[in-house]
A and B are shown apart, each in its own frame.
Chain A
């Protein structure tokens, strides 16, 4: 029974990773850049909901929509100001700039909201699911997170495959220059990608903070890194891969904490990641890219 409980807790943790990883993979897949600031956009999203719900007493649903709007604007602004000037420069330069943006967001939050921990109000108010006379409890926020992740995953896949702008995104990710020649607005497409990625970050922020209700300016950074690992695990750029990678990472993390060592669980998770990448160098669902001379 305790194994099942650990497994369910793992899925619960993993679903949050999956949700964050979807945003990561979206931006990486199209813009080909590691947006290290993604975790911090999540944190900002969390704060917006905190302020509107706990501070102004707003309806949680309205707060989430406001939060999505704020994060979308933030994401697009970051892209415009910090990343677009570097289009065409070395990918490493963009990576470092993303880190600078991450520091910037953390320190803005530190100044605006202070360093003390805020307890987040769980926006998922449904009762928990109790099985076997309360021996096994599935938290409602877990159920919601899994469902939301699946909806987003399916939605994104359809969006990228079926809509015009989605196909423009695929084109941009394959070859920016060629896409431009075909009349695609490359900058616009990437801006849309960031808008979608950032609004996903807002949703992830709300559910992350609902599941683990503590909010500080550094809340987003470690889950961000873990989700990035999850995205790589599943094959970065692949939308279903991010979901599967996230869930697997959470489950592995919890099982290794439970059955091997709680101190070394990070080392174990990362070791498994390395082994997976060595066997399948582009992640679980990643595509193999043919190299040419």
Chain B
């Protein structure tokens, strides 16, 4: 009996939440800051019901309904929705992207917006899980999103790309590097694709005769890392060096790299290729040093950020080479002002994800201006217009100068090879 009563109460609560969930769409029309844009939940069923009608109107044709209420600039508001992991073990990437994007949005708004429109960014957490990512996307849809800036990670990007293609919403992923992220005509990316980086790294090592015996340590459970490794190994066959040792690790097993390093050492490798993120790379460098393994390290853009690890002994990273589109130590005005602003606002040195997020917003701006996007256009029109405009624009961003796109969604930009010398990036 008790159980039954309890289930009834719970069922009631469930319905109430379901109803309030309906109303969540319009709770945020006037919130300007980053992540607090989503649902302002109402406690009682009655309030939920009364709001439900507005909520439905929101979902049906979000732009007009919301823009009428929006207290933006004269041109209305352009609603950009970001998706990325803000909690969970990948949070560092999502938070950086969100912060980078937010800086771009603030700059743009301060300078008068896009075509007179105020830009509003709503960044939702996906916990690095494809299913949660789709939930985040749907939350943004209820909010009336017009352009998607996401997702940060590859698998989530692919899952959301499937939905944006159905709904005809333009999607630009800052850092989803897997090939399939941009398989649909409406999805583009800012970063390099995995195959691109893998092949470029192998060519670079071969052409510059950096090594004859190469060892690879990669994360076999990670889409990014295994994607680069595959192409690297494929391209290595055409190059002058050979791969003498391959050590994999997994997400569950990424603290101890002694075995992989020992194998590389025993195989006589003179260069270790690390297509991984800087968190693990920092550990690898420390462990290699403590076991007396003195070798060159070469990495991809994931390695960027290693000097920003708080309290990290930068001398360990001395001589590490990486192909990265972004270097926080670069001295051009754009980078310097971005790094300064980021440092002031968030107290950290931005990594490549922050730069990708920043560039993504400016890319959207460039494309929106090219296509003369206005806030009252339907998502479908915006999507079609941006799709065409993307192939016509050239963006000078943090992650490359003169970036252009083709219809496949891939950016054309040159990776910069840098070496860490005296604790700063130096062009090679």
Contact = CB atoms under 8 A, between A and B. Distances in A.
Chains A and B touch each other in the complex, with CB atoms below 8 Å apart:
yes
Interface of A: 2, 5-6, 9, 12-13, 50, 54, 107, 110, 114-121, 128, 130, 134, 137, 139, 212-214, 216-218, 222-223, 253-254, 257-258, 261-263, 265-266
Interface in B178-233: 220
Contact of B311 (A121, A137, A261): A121
A12 B266 CA distance: 19
B258 A115 contact: no
A64 to B, nearest CB: 17
Interface of B: 87-89, 91-92, 95, 220, 247-250, 252-253, 255-256, 258-260, 262-263, 266, 278-279, 282-283, 286, 290-292, 308-313, 348
Given A110-B91, A266-B250, A117 B262 contact: no
A214 B262 contact: no
A247 to B, nearest CB: 14
> Nearest 3 CB-CB pairs, A to B?
A9-B258, A119-B312, A115-B91
A118 B311 CA distance: 6
8 contacts: A115-B91, A117-B92, A117-B279, A119-B282, A119-B309, A222-B252, A223-B255, A266-B252
Nearest to A107: B87
A118 B256 contact: no
A263 B250 contact: yes
B92 A2 contact: no
A257 B256 CA distance: 11
Given A137-B291, A265-B253, A9 B262 contact: yes
B279 A216 contact: yes
A118 B252 CA distance: 19
A208 to B, nearest CB: 8
Given A119-B312, A253-B253, 18 more contacts: A2-B263, A5-B258, A9-B259, A115-B95, A117-B282, A119-B286, A119-B309, A120-B311, A130-B292, A134-B292, A212-B256, A212-B283, A216-B92, A218-B88, A254-B256, A257-B260, A262-B260, A266-B250
A50 B342 CA distance: 24
B262 A258 contact: yes
Given A212-B255, A222-B252, A263 B282 contact: no
Nearest to B92: A115
B248 A262 contact: yes
B220 A116 contact: no
A283 to B, nearest CB: 22
A9 to B, nearest CB: 4
Nearest to B255: A212
Contact of B259 (A107, A116, A212, A262): A262
A119 B87 contact: no
A105 B283 CA distance: 24
